[in-house]
Structure 1
Amino acid sequence: MHSGLPNGEHALIVHQAGDLSNSCANVGPIMAPDKKFNVSAIFGNIKVDGTKNATIDREIDWPKDISLIGRSLVIHKLSVMEWSLRNKDILPLACGTIGFASP
């Protein structure tokens, strides 16, 4: 996980592009999976407590037919609720490109 996150809840969201340049500003919009699948690229909140321990509030059951490889996983400054109601131009706290390694 990421260390040094501020206390509170932070949205964990998959974005369309894996371009991490410009301080994560180029990750694009939220990934929009095919409508035939009942899934969301908004994975919930990472909760950070006063001891800097981070937990995720849900497990993710992602369909095998939708690849996440090459997308970005973004930790936002705001919670899911706050993020959905506010300006999306606030830069994220952290981001990374989803990939895989050979066994």
Structure 2
Amino acid sequence: MAAPTKLEFDVDMTCGNCVKKIENAFKGIEGVKSLDVNLLRGQVIVECNLGTEKVKSVIESTGKKAVLKGMGGSKGAAVSIMDVGSEAIRGLIRLVQTDERQLVIDGTLDGLTPGVHGLCVHECGDISEGCNSCGDIYGRDVSGQVSMGELGDIKAGPDGRAEFRIVSDRLKVWEMIGRSLIIHNGSIDEIKRNNSRDQRLTCGIIARSAGLFQNSKKICACDGVTQWEERNVPAAGHSRQAHL
């Protein structure tokens, strides 16, 4: 059983009815372990096995705006902005070490070709030549057939969006800082067969990120935009989300 992840959201709640609406929205949803709605702080904490976009959509089904402020536990968190290699593909992937054993990879990407794509950790965080300078897939064994960095396949729908949550017991978040994530064209099996670098669709450097209760910002320092204005820009197309 995958360890649940705690997600921290700021929510524009104004009264007790807002709290009740949010609590009711989560009733009966499988994968939710606990829910804490704090009106005074404007904060919702959800401990669950669900992806961040799913949880956000449940909160916003009540008519309230929600912004993800932190994710994970005390073991470390990282983020990768997927905006190198293609002007059409944009996304954000978060990595959270929920305990000593399990790493949760949670992401949303837009602009992909519908179908299956492989997600891999690569050796280097060098994007000086785009995705081609990120090195090989991380952690290949001597046979070249197995790699710790092969996180798995993600699937983009007809609209080009892929939302996913992957749990790995082979990697640790502190080993990933400074490396890169790459979305490949085709499945992991296809990547192994052709090993072609021109199949690298988009990539991003893995950087340290705020964990739970570590992001108190309400206004983006780079342009003075409030989190509620910033929230109106899709997460998969806005680099400021990396401030998480």
TM-score by length of 1: 0.80
Tell me the CA shift for residue 21 of structure 1.
2.2
Q: Which amino acid aligns with 2:127?
A: L
SS in 2 for 1:84: helix
Q: Which residue of 2 aligns with 1:13?
A: 120
Query: Residues of 2 paired with 1:65 and 1:24: CA distance?
Result: 21
- RCO greater where, 1 or 2, for CA within 8 Å and sep 6 or more? 1
Moved more, 74-83 or 57-66: 57-66
Give the match for residue 3 of structure 1.
110
2:189 alignment partner, one of 77, 81, 90? 81
- The code of the aligned residue for 2:183 comes to I
> Which whole-Å CA distance do the structure 2 matches of 1:59 and 1:24 have between them?
24
- Superposition pairs of residues 87-102 of structure 1, within 5 angstroms: 87-102=195-210
Deviations 1:41-66 (A, max 9, x none): 10001101213231437422354486
SS of the residue 1:29 aligns to: coil
Q: Equivalents in 1 of 2:165, 2:173: separation in Å?
A: 24
Counterpart residue number, 2:159: 51
List runs of 5+ in structure 2 lacking aligned partners: 1-107, 142-146, 215-244
Asked if structure 2 preserves the Cα contact closer than 8 Å seen for 1:13 and 1:75, the reply is yes
Decide whether aligned partners of structure 1 residues 78 and 64 sit closer, same or farther in structure 2, where only a CA change above 3 A counts.
closer
CA drift at 1:92: 1.2
State the SS of the aligned residue for 2:139: coil
Q: Secondary structure at the match of 1:99?
A: strand
Letter in 1 for 2:194: R
* Alignment coverage as a number of residue pairs: 100
- SS of structure 1 residue aligned to 2:207: coil
| Secondary structure in 2 matching 1:26 | coil
Q: CA deviation digits over 1:11-63, x for unaligned, max 9?
A: 100000001122211000111179xxxx7210001101213231437422354
2: CA distance between counterparts of 1:66 and 1:100? Answer: 9
TM-score, normalised via structure 2 length: 0.37
Q: Which amino acid is 1:19 matched to?
A: D
Are the aligned partners of 2:119 and 2:154 in contact in 1 as well (CA < 8 Å)? yes
In the superposition, relative to structure 1, how do residues 77 and 53 fare at CA in structure 2: closer, same or farther (>3 Å)?
A: same
RMSD: 2.6
Based on CA coordinates, which of the two structures has the bigger radius of gyration?
2
Richer in strand (by share): 2
What is the one-letter code of the residue matched to 1:21?
Answer: S
Do the aligned partners of residues 53 and 66 (structure 1) sit closer, same or farther apart at CA in structure 2, a change above 3 Å counting? same
Unaligned runs of 5+ in 1: none
Identity of aligned residues (%): 34
